[in-house]
Structure formats: structure tokens, C-alpha cells
């Protein structure tokens, strides 16, 4: 009753109760509806994706088996005893026996191989590992291919029937008769794939998973009686065969029941792995979820109603206390007036707005500090501004930036990528400001200066009374570098811009300093660069040294580490006499030439070519010639390691083959 009276009498309380109640009810309703809708929409998709994933695993298994079949084929076709049997003109029992030992040994190693057989159509000889009869299809000239496969059944005796996937390998065909001269046949156990299919069927209630070829002929099914049967006349099978996609799903009525059909195609074998699942059984959990969602939503609405009353009461009490205090400050008696006619929020809002405005004004005043204004001013001047704005700046700050001569000095942190990886953005900004403060403090001993900080630079404007190129400035910059290194264990490179005689020309000094900073490439980290050093010993007429490139490539091919190091040092020495643009361009050309020359080695060890091209992309981050030398050395060493490893693998294969021949 008390709650109802408060709702009827107090405007703010009434708004709070209604607001909380509507918010909670609408939130619960909307969230429940959205969650149920999303889950319902995604449930079938997730089940479909799960089926595709399981089928992809089976497809992957089949591809792996096919790859191993190819490995076995290659292993047998290079064996001398096998070739002696395949190309023998006359029957030789010793040759037959040696070949039999080889295929029996290989057949026993691989669990998925049921049988291996050899056919010599020149002398009519046939041997196999387990004693199966000849397969007449082996001599079939219809598919004149090096390798093809087909399903078949074979009987060893009345009690032993084999369901096989037969791979026929024909090294050479007879021109006159169009029949093979010889053939290698590898029979794959169909049960090897059936076991995987059976495992999937056990995990799917009332579902069916099977494998078929690209003609609709059944290769593997939970029912072995369906082996080699043609199901291409079924609607959903023909739809799968007509599809150009490697995987997909659709719904179709089968025996008056809606089913979800999911399929994945093996690009290697041209097999289709198909799962058929009743659609209504997929949504059983969704229907249960719907009922539980409605029940939980109803309970949450009831709970939310109670919470809305509780929160409204707790929220309104502090508001009334605040109103009382505000009224006291205004020298009014709070209990004398009916609150029905008073908007408490309006009263408190006015007070809060006044307080916030005062705080914002205070914060704005604090932000307008001298250093912040100077930093903004310096950045504006260096980037270039219009003449009217420059005139206003000279009027306001002319007494502090009166020169009459200026130079812009840029400090850049060396090894920028490592610096960014070591420190957070906030710490990096603090360090840059600290470097600026150190620079200003040490320069103030002899010069007037101001600094500003950008994302990658610490910019210092130094004022001079006259153009004087004495060593004082350079000694001070060296002291700054030493101080920064001792405090923060980082190094900075300094770049000195050209002379400027007015504020509006400072941008030219700044741009020249940025240009000179690029020559850190030649002078290294913790260096000082100016216009004189930039122009020193730079020959812009140099051309790309193709002979040096070829010498380095030849050294890598020979895997001669000393020769490689000598050629790299010779290259770096050549770059030290180039201009910056030439050095970057020539280095890019060299990296690209080396990578293109040795890109084929990635195929030996199945290495991604991107691993080599990553070196090319790292050139843009190189800061010095020393780093360039390290990158080039690392690239060459990696290529040499791959070449050496390939040589070792080839040697091991030769040794293994020699041992087998001796046996």
C-alpha cells in the first residue's frame, strides 16, 4: 500500500518505477527473442558445418591415403628388382622371387594396403602379395592412363571375399596392341575408410554417411551390400553430382521425410563424402530451448518487477536528500511544499550544470599551459602556415622566438620497431617528452631553444645570435645522446637542419633535417647528421652493380660461407658510397634477385615462399647498413641451410637405395 501511495504522489518515483519496469521487461523480452531467433537460425548451420567438418576429415584421410599410395608407387617403380620383373622378357624365378619379397614387405608395412600385384604382359608373368587371382581389368586399354583406380571385389577362395579400391599404374604401353607392357596394381582396403564412416554414423542418430565416386557408384557404406551399386538415379545424388561446388548442403524430401544432405568432394580422388540426416531430429533441442526460454523469460520478468521497485526506492532516497540540501542552500524550507508540483530533476540539473561548467572551465584553463601552447605553435610553424597566421604568432610570441637565426634539430629513437615492441604507447610518449626536456635543458646552457614532440620525432628549435658553425652545438648533441642512453638504455640519432633567418622559413629547415635524418642509414645509430655530412662522398652517378649481384648468388649456390661474407661486405662497402635513394633501391633489387633465384628451393622442404619474401618486405624497416648486412646474411644463411639439408636428404636416399640393392 505504501508503494502504491508513493507511485501516486511522487512524480520522480513514479517515473523511476515505470522506467525500470519497462526497461527490464523490454530488455528481457528483446534479448530472449533475439537469442532464441539467433540460436534457431544458427543451430542447423552449426550442425551442417559440423557435418562438413567431419566429412572433410574423412576426405583428408582419403587424400592422405592416396598420397601414401603415390609414395608406395614411386618407391616401387624406382626399385631395381621391381623393374627387373616388369621389363623381363623371359620368366625368371629368381627375379620373380625378389620382386615378391619387395611387394610383400611393402604390403606388410602399410595397414591400409590389402594387396600389391605385378603384371608382365610381355612374358605373361603375374605375382601378388596375398595370392589373389589376376584382375582382367588391368589389361583394359579403355583408360590409357599412367594411373587410374576403380572399385572391385575379389575372391581368394569361397570363404574370403575382398572389397577393394584398385589403383592401376602402367609405366609403358605397347604401341601396336594398346595394352600395357607391364603394370603395378595396389589394392586399398575398403574397410579402412569404412571404419571411419562407421565411426561417424555411430555419432549421428538415424543418420547415414557414405562415399561415392563421380558417377554415383557407392564405394563405402555402413551396409556392405551396397558396394559398387549405382545410386545416380536418386534425386539428391544427381543434384550433388551436378553441383560445381566442392562442398555444400541442402534439404530434400526422402521417403516423405525432410532430410539435411551435406556433402564434401575430394579434389584429389573425385569422391563425394555424403551425410543424410533427418531434419526434425536436428531441431529437437531447439524446441526444448524455446519452452525453457519462455519459462525463464517469465520468471525474469517477475523478478525484474520486484527489482524495479527496490531500485526505485533506493534511487529516490538519495535524490530527496540532495533536494533538501539544495533547498537549504537557497534558504528554503523543503518540507513545506508538496513535491507533486516540483520537478526535482530540473532543480538538481541546474545545480549540476553549473558545477560541471565550472569544472570544465577550470580544466580548460589548466590545459592552456605554456608548454602545450608552445608545442602546438612549433608544430604549426614547422608544417607551414599562412602569412596572416604567422604575423599573429610573431606578434604574440615574437619576443620568445626572435632569433635572429634558427636551426631545427630532429631527434629520432633508434631501432624504432624494438622500441615500439618494448614500451606501451603511453610509456613511449613519456620517453619522447623526457628526451625533449633533456635536450632543452642541455641546450639552454649555450642557446635558447624550444621543443615539440610528434609521433616519431622530438623536434627542437634552436635560436642563434649569429651563424656560427663551431663545435659547441655538436658537443652538446653528443652529451644529449649520452644522457638519454644512460637514463633509458636507448639511443637517438640527431639531424641538424639548414639555417633559417625567419620563422616562416623554419619549415625549410625542418624539411632539410628530415632529409638528413635518412642518412642515418650510412652513419648508423647514435649519430649526428647535417647537410655537410649528407653531401660527403656521395656519387649519384653510380649504377646497379649486376656483377656483384651475380657473385653473391654464385657464392650462395656454392654454399661457401666465407665467400658469401666477403661478397656481402663488398656490397655494403659499395652502398656506403651511394646516395640514400640508390642504396634503398639497389638493396631492394638485390634481395628480389636472390629470392627469385632461389625461390624453387622452397619446394624441396615444403616451405612457403612467403618466408623468403618476408625479407624483401623488411627492407623498409632497416635503419642502418649494419642492419642491411645482417638481413642479407640471414637470408643467404637460410638459403644455404636449405640447400645443405636437401643435399643431405638426397645422400641419405642414395645410401638407403644402395643398402637395399646390397641386401
What is the maximal distance between C-alpha atoms in the chain? 127
Q: Is residue 341 in some structural domain?
A: no
**Integer angstrom CA distances of residue 101 from 121, 122, 183:** 20, 21, 17
Higher pLDDT, 623 or 386: 623
If asked whether residues 465 and 419 sit together in one domain, one would say yes
**Integer angstrom CA distances of residue 267 from 53, 239, 264, 560:** 16, 18, 9, 43
Residue 526, sorted as left (phi over 0), alpha (psi -120 to 50) or beta, turns out to be left
DSSP codes, 544-555: --HHHHHHHHHH
Give the list of residues 6+ apart from residue 519 with CB closer than 8 angstroms, or none: 529, 533, 534, 580
If asked whether residues 518 and 469 sit together in one domain, one would say yes
Region 549-577: mean pLDDT is 89
Residue 228, sorted as left (phi over 0), alpha (psi -120 to 50) or beta, turns out to be left
Number of domains observed in the structure of the chain: 5
If asked whether residues 387 and 315 sit together in one domain, one would say no
**Integer angstrom CA distances of residue 308 from 16, 501, 617:** 8, 72, 60
Region 399-412: mean pLDDT is 82
The answer to which of 75-79, 270-274, 404-408 has the lowest mean pLDDT is: 270-274
If asked whether residues 297 and 261 sit together in one domain, one would say no
Boundary (domain end) residue, out of 141, 166, 192: 192
If asked whether residues 558 and 519 sit together in one domain, one would say no
Q: Is residue 340 in some structural domain?
A: no
Instruction: Work out the mean pLDDT of the chain and round it to a whole number.
Output: 79
Boundary (domain end) residue, out of 230, 257, 282: 282
224: confidence class by pLDDT, cuts 50, 70, 90? low
3-state secondary structure of 65: helix
The three state secondary structure string of 85-113 is HHCCCCCCHHHHHHHHHHHHHHHHHCCCE
User: What pLDDT does residue 19 have?
Assistant: 78
User: What pLDDT does residue 435 have?
Assistant: 92
Give the list of residues 6+ apart from residue 449 with CB closer than 8 angstroms, or none: 439, 440, 443, 460, 461, 462, 463
User: What pLDDT does residue 651 have?
Assistant: 67
Q: Is residue 331 in some structural domain?
A: no
User: What pLDDT does residue 480 have?
Assistant: 93
- Residue closest to 555 by CA, chosen among 639, 651, 619: 639
Q: Residue 96: pLDDT above 80?
A: yes
User: What pLDDT does residue 483 have?
Assistant: 93
Cβ atoms of residues 130 and 114 within 8 Å: yes
Q: Residue 334: pLDDT above 50?
A: no
Domain around 571: 546-655
Q: Is residue 57 in some structural domain?
A: no
Q: Residue 66: pLDDT above 80?
A: no
333: confidence class by pLDDT, cuts 50, 70, 90? very low
- Residue closest to 116 by CA, chosen among 145, 79, 90, 144: 79
The answer to which of 16-25, 325-334, 411-420, 480-489 has the lowest mean pLDDT is: 325-334
If asked whether residues 254 and 401 sit together in one domain, one would say no
325: confidence class by pLDDT, cuts 50, 70, 90? confident
What CA–CA distance (Å, rounded) separates 190 from 443?
84
What CA–CA distance (Å, rounded) separates 493 from 481?
8
Find the CATH number of the domain harbouring 451: 3.30.70.270
Q: Residue 205: pLDDT above 60?
A: yes
Q: Residue 347: pLDDT above 60?
A: yes
Write out pLDDT tens, residues 484-536: 999 988 999 999 999 888 777 888 888 999 899 988 888 899 999 988 877 66
If asked whether residues 92 and 177 sit together in one domain, one would say yes
Q: Helices H, strands E: what count in the chain?
A: 22, 15
User: What pLDDT does residue 24 have?
Assistant: 81
Indicate the DSSP class of residue 339.
G
pTM, entire model? 0.45
User: What pLDDT does residue 486 have?
Assistant: 92
Q: Is residue 338 in some structural domain?
A: no
**In the chain, what percentage of residues exceed pLDDT 90?**
9
Q: Is residue 663 in some structural domain?
A: no
**Can you give the C-alpha Rg of the chain in angstroms?**
42
What CA–CA distance (Å, rounded) separates 611 from 302?
61
3-state secondary structure of 150: strand
Write out pLDDT tens, residues 97-133: 888 999 899 888 888 888 999 998 888 889 998 888 8
If asked whether residues 415 and 390 sit together in one domain, one would say yes
If asked whether residues 426 and 465 sit together in one domain, one would say yes
Q: Residue 385: pLDDT above 70?
A: no
User: What pLDDT does residue 485 have?
Assistant: 92
Q: Residue 605: pLDDT above 60?
A: no
If asked whether residues 143 and 230 sit together in one domain, one would say no
Q: Is residue 333 in some structural domain?
A: no
Write out pLDDT tens, residues 141-195: 756 778 887 788 888 777 777 878 888 888 888 777 778 888 899 988 877 766 7
If asked whether residues 299 and 445 sit together in one domain, one would say no
Amino acid at each position: 500500500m505504501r508503494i502504491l501511495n508513493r507511485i501516486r504522489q511522487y512524480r520522480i518515483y513514479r517515473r523511476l518505477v515505470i522506467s525500470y519496469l519497462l526497461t527490464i521487461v523490454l530488455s528481457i523480452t528483446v534479448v530472449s527473442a533475439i537469442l532464441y531467433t539467433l540460436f534457431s537460425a544458427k543451430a542447423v548451420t552449426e550442425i551442417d558445418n559440423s557435418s562438413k567438418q567431419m566429412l572433410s576429415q574423412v576426405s583428408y584421410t582419403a587424400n592422405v591415403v592416396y598420397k601414401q599410395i603415390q609414395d608406395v608407387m614411386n618407391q616401387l617403380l624406382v626399385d631395381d628388382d621391381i623393374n627387373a620383373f616388369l621389363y623381363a622378357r623371359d620368366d625368371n624365378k629368381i627375379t620373380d622371387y625378389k620382386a615378391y619379397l619387395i611387394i610383400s614387405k611393402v604390403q606388410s608395412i602399410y595397414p591400409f594396403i590389402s594387396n600389391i600385384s605385378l603384371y608382365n604382359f610381355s612374358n605373361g608373368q603375374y605375382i601378388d602379395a596375398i595370392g589373389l587371382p589376376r584382375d582382367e581389368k588391368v589389361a583394359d586399354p579403355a583408360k590409357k592412363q599412367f594411373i587410374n583406380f576403380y572399385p572391385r571385389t575379389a575372391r581368394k577362395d569361397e570363404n574370403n571375399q575382398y572389397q577393394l579400391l584398385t589403383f592401376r599404374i602402367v609405366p609403358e604401353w605397347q604401341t601396336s596392341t594398346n595394352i600395357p607392357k607391364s603394370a603395378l596394381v595396389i589394392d586399398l582396403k575398403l574397410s579402412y575408410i569404412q571404419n571411419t564412416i562407421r565411426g561417424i554414423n555411430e555419432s549421428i542418430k538415424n543418420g547415414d554417411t557414405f562415399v561415392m565416386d563421380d558417377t554415383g557408384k557407392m564405394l563405402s557404406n555402413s551396409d556392405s551390400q551396397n558396394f559398387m551399386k549405382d545410386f545416380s538415379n536418386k534425386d539428391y545424388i544427381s543434384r550433388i553430382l551436378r553441383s560445381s561446388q566442392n562442398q555444400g548442403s541442402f534439404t530434400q524430401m526422402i521417403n516423405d521425410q525432410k532430410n539435411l544432405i551435406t556433402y564434401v568432394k575430394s579434389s584429389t580422388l573425385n569422391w563425394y563424402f555424403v551425410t543424410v540426416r533427418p531434419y526434425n531430429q536436428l531441431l529437437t533441442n531447439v524446441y526444448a530451448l524455446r519452452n525453457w526460454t519462455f519459462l525463464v523469460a517469465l520468471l525474469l520478468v517477475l523478478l525484474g518487477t520486484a527489482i524495479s521497485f527496490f531500485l526505485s526506492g533506493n534511487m529516490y532516497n538519495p535524490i530527496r536528500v540532495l533536494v533538501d540540501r539544495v533547498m537549504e542552500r537557497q534558504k528554503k524550507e523543503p518540507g513545506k511544499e508538496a513535491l507533486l508540483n516540483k520537478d526535482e530533476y530540473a532543480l538538481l540539473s541546474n545545480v549540476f550544470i553549473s558545477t560541471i561548467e565550472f569544472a570544465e572551465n577550470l580544466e580548460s584553463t589548466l590545459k592552456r599551459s605554456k608548454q602545450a601552447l608552445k608545442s602546438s605553435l612549433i608544430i604549426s610553424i614547422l608544417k607551414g602556415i599562412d602569412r596572416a597566421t604567422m604575423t599573429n604568432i610573431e606578434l604574440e610570441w615574437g619576443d620568445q622566438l626572435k632569433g635572429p637565426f634558427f636551426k631545427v634539430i630532429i631527434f629520432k629513437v633508434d631501432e624504432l620497431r624494438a622500441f615500439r615492441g618494448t614500451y606501451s604507447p603511453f610509456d613511449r610518449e613519456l620517453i619522447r617528452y623526457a628526451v625533449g626536456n633533456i635536450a632543452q635543458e642541455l641546450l639552454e646552457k649555450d642557446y635558447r631553444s624550444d621543443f615539440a614532440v610528434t609521433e616519431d620525432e622530438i623536434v627542437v628549435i634552436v635560436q642563434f645570435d649569429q651563424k656560427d658553425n663551431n663545435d659547441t652545438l655538436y658537443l652538446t648533441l653528443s652529451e644529449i645522446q649520452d644522457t638519454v642512453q644512460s637514463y633509458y638504455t636507448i639511443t637517438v640519432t640527431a639531424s641538424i637542419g639548414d639555417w633559417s633567418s625567419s620563422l616562416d622559413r623554419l619549415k625549410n629547415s625542418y624539411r632539410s633535417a628530415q632529409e638528413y635524418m635518412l642518412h642515418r642509414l650510412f652513419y648508423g645509430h647514435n649519430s649526428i647528421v647535417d647537410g655537410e655530412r649528407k653531401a660527403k662522398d656521395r656519387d649519384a652517378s653510380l649504377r646497379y652493380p649486376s656483377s656483384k649481384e651475380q657473385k653473391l648468388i654464385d657464392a650462395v649456390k656454392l654454399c661457401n660461407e666465407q665467400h658469401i661474407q666477403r661478397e656481402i661486405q663488398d656490397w655494403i662497402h659499395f652502398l656506403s658510397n651511394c646516395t640514400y635513394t640508390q642504396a634503398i633501391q639497389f638493396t631492394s633489387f638485390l634481395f628480389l634477385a636472390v629470392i627469385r633465384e632461389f625461390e624453387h628451393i622452397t619446394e624441396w622442404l615444403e616451405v612457403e615462399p612467403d618466408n623468403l619474401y618476408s625479407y624483401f618486405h623488411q627492407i623498409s624497416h632497416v635503419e642502418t647498413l649494419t642492419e642491411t648486412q645482417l638481413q642479407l646474411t640471414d637470408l643467404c644463411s637460410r638459403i644455404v641451410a636449405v640447400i645443405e639439408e636437401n643435399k643431405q636428404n638426397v645422400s641419405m636416399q642414395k645410401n638407403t637405395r644402395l643398402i637395399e640393392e646390397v641386401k
